[in-house]
Amino acid sequence: MLTTAVIGLGYWGPNLVRNLAVSPRTRAAWICDRSPGRLDAVGAHFPAAARAEDPAAVLADPEVDAVVIATPVATHHALARAALLAGKHVLVEKPLAATAEQAEELRELAERRGLVLLVDHVFLYSPAVRKLAQLVAAGDLGEPLFIDSVRINLGLVQHDVDVVWDLAPHDLAIIDHLVGRVPDSVVAIGASHSGGGPVDGAHLHLDYGAGLHAAIHVSWLSPVKIRSFLLGGTRRSVLYNDLDAAERLKVYDRGIEVTEALSPEGRRELLVSYRSGDVVAPRLDSAEPLALLVEHFADCIEKDVPPLSGGDQGLRVVRVLEAAQRSRAAAGERVAV
């Protein structure tokens, strides 16, 4: 049974506490937040957990095996670093850190100390993405041609990060999980429509070479909520619509066929026709992603299972975020990763 401590009880922290408390493999020994109000509110539901306003108290407890960090991004590096230096395994909220340099340091530190560093790229643990990854790995889709991910909503604007750092890590982590590498270059277009606030709507374009392109649209300003991830392959295509509870994943047995033909005007021309086949919505487990993440965290620590979303991936995601930030600041100039 792993003894864990959760630092940061904002929007996401309490979900982590709940899953750590419910899992048979972990216990939530500490909850920590600088705000006494939040400590009380969350503590009321988890009376068994000790409370601390200062993370130092948590890190000083030799009983604690692992620390879960769900604080604002700017603080990830300092807290994760301190936790690793204290010999604790670390699960950190996405993105891993505020800069690639920080992420790299955390990755190396964890490696050097032989500690687990896991990033909460929670969608990787959803049954839909797990199935999607199996389809890609099995070659059922053929070669990936394009990815179009849309993650827009009328969302509460964050004060510490812009919409790219807030939402895009989800898409970037999923794509990294499927593609396994960073893009060659990034073009990012974005703007703030909320009166001098952070960027609240943006489009990212990732060029992976070898004919693979990915586009990501994130926004806090859409009156309609969309969570769709489209992957087009040479053999099949997949639509992952996270809002379609009944059919989250759909596999389209459709593709294009390129042939040469004579135009009505008698010119030789490239004729591209398309074939249309069945659509299959595979059955998916109903497991809660966060519960599976917590179990995976325990497996990494107790059974040396390689992390599905470890420091390497966390670093790759931050590197793309940094490149996107530079591109957007340069009005969409293409930036190499």
Query: Rounded to an integer, what distance in angstroms lies between the CA atom of residue 107 and that of residue 97?
Result: 10
Q: Which of residues 112, 210, 276, 303 is near a copy of itself by CB under 8 A?
A: 276
- Residue closer to a copy of itself by CB (options 302, 333) is 333
Please name the amino acid found at residue 17: V
Measured distance CA(248)–CA(259) in Å, rounded:
34
Indicate the residue among 65 and 200 with the shorter CB distance to a copy of itself.
200
Q: Which stretch binds a copy of itself (CB under 8 A): 90-98, 117-125, 262-270, 292-300?
A: 262-270
Beta-ladder partners of 93: 120
Nearer to a copy of itself by Cβ, of 105 and 171: the residue is 171
Of residues 227-246, those binding a copy of itself (CB under 8 A): 230, 232, 237, 239, 246
Distance CA 48, CA 31 (A): 10
CA 166 to chain centre: 10
Select from 108, 140, 253, 312 the one that contacts a copy of itself (CB under 8 A): 253
Per the document, the length of the chain is: 337
Closest to a copy of itself by CB, 127 vs 311, is 127
Pairing of strands 144-154, 185-191: unpaired
Residue 329 in contact with a copy of itself, rule: CB under 8 A: no
Q: Give the three-state DSSP class for 328.
A: helix
* 309 contacts a copy of itself (rule: CB under 8 A): no
Task: List the one residue from 123, 165, 252, 297 that touches a copy of itself (CB under 8 A).
Answer: 252
**61, 247, 299, 312: residue in contact with a copy of itself (rule CB under 8 A):** 247
Give Rg (Cα) of the chain.
22
Q: Which of residues 280-299 bind a copy of itself (CB under 8 A)?
A: 280-283
Report the site for a copy of itself in 9-28 (rule: CB under 8 A).
Answer: 10
CA nearest to 70, candidates 37, 87, 94, 102:
94
Under rule CB under 8 A, how many of the chain's residues touch a copy of itself? 72
Q: Are strands 89-93 and 66-69 parallel, antiparallel or unpaired?
A: parallel
Residue 330 in contact with residue 316, Cβ under 8 Å?
no
* CB closer to a copy of itself out of 137 and 263: 263
Q: How far apart are CA 194 and CA 216, in angstroms?
A: 21
Task: Pick the stretch among 41-49, 55-63, 77-85, 305-313 that binds a copy of itself (CB under 8 A).
Answer: 41-49
**Touching a copy of itself, residues 133-192 (CB under 8 A):** 145-146, 148, 152, 154-157, 159, 187, 189, 191
